[in-house]
Amino acid sequence: MLGKENVQREIKDKVVLVTGAAGSIGSEICRQVMHYEPKMLIMLDQAESPMYDFQFEMNNNPDFKEMKDRMAFVITNVKDLRRIEEVFAQYKPQVVYHAAAYKHVPFMEENAYEAVYVNVFGTKNVADMAMKYGAEKFVMISTDKAVNPTNVMGATKRIAEIYTQSRNSGTKFVTTRFGNVLGSNGSVVPLFRKQIEQGGPITVTDKRIIRFFMTIPEACSLVLEAGSIGEDDDIFVFDMGEPVKIWDLAERMRQLSGKTEIEIVETGLRPGEKLYEELLATKENTMPTENEKIMRAKVRQYEEHYVNKVIEVLYDQLLTLDEFKIVGQMKNIIPEFKSNNSVFSKLDK
């Protein structure tokens, strides 16, 4: 109950902004936030069709029928600083949950420019406006792939963490890291279900691959609670339970479907993909919080002036459109970034 009291104190009668609001995580954060009676909830996303569907859902949710005037839906991209500033100037959010990001590892290996633009500089835009317009707290949704990254996506999220954690302002910056969530857009459970419906085969990249999983509502509940207890520069990691072998998950889903004749095939690790995800870097450690599922991480601190300098260089490289220069500067910022990708691994030091 203490966790809910903390979240209630954080959200009730305040203006809350959620970026990536039409996504799997962002939409569930919005649903849970509304139950804590914010003064206003601003839901922002660039994906028009998912946002249209989500707006219909929220406007027709019987739990929120008395609070329709407290909801606003905004279509824009976090890359667009001018529009992001307009949103902050209009609504002046006090609490920001930043879930907008690209997340698919193989796609981002092939689209490093876009990954950096959205995940790093989109985060920078929202964080900078949060500071400029006096937000009390900025909660960033990060990933276990930011730890000792082996791919562009994970590295972009780590750089976004470094940027927000290095800010010195009246806004408190809190980061939450967790692994895969069951049933999210593009995750293995919907993929396996679709493959089974189509008669197979079920594709698994490697028999040895394991992942941590958590349900979407549980992950979002922990995000809200961690955000409520977080102080400036905190990074929280969640207890994801026991890791799951993806091959075993495929086998189980095949059995439950009754279509045991469907073949499960091994396709090989994709560029940038790890066999095992980590929640903490090797030099990090954790301290407990009042919730046994939320741990406070101890991570390396970066000076603000240093981060500003390397981010500026990264932006200059971004403008070249040369993905080798872009990824090369990412590796300069994060020396532990070692590519599981034959294309970018030649840049490893």
- Catalytic residue annotation: 145
Output the six-digit token pair for 206.
Answer: 């490697």
Instruction: Kindly report the number of other CB atoms within 10 A of residue 305's CB atom.
Output: 8
The torsion region of residue 301 among left (phi > 0), alpha (psi -120 to 50) and beta comes to beta
CB-based burial label for 206 (10 Å; 0-12, 13-18, 19+): middle
Q: How far apart are the first and last CA of the chain?
A: 49
Residue 20: name the closest of 92, 79, 69 by CA: 79
Structure tokens at 31: 């649903």
Q: Give whole-number Cα distances, 79 to 21, 72, 83, 125, in Å.
A: 15, 20, 9, 7
Nearest to 46 by CA among 19, 76, 21: 76
Q: What Å distances lie between residue 168 and 17, 152, 302, CA to CA?
A: 21, 27, 11
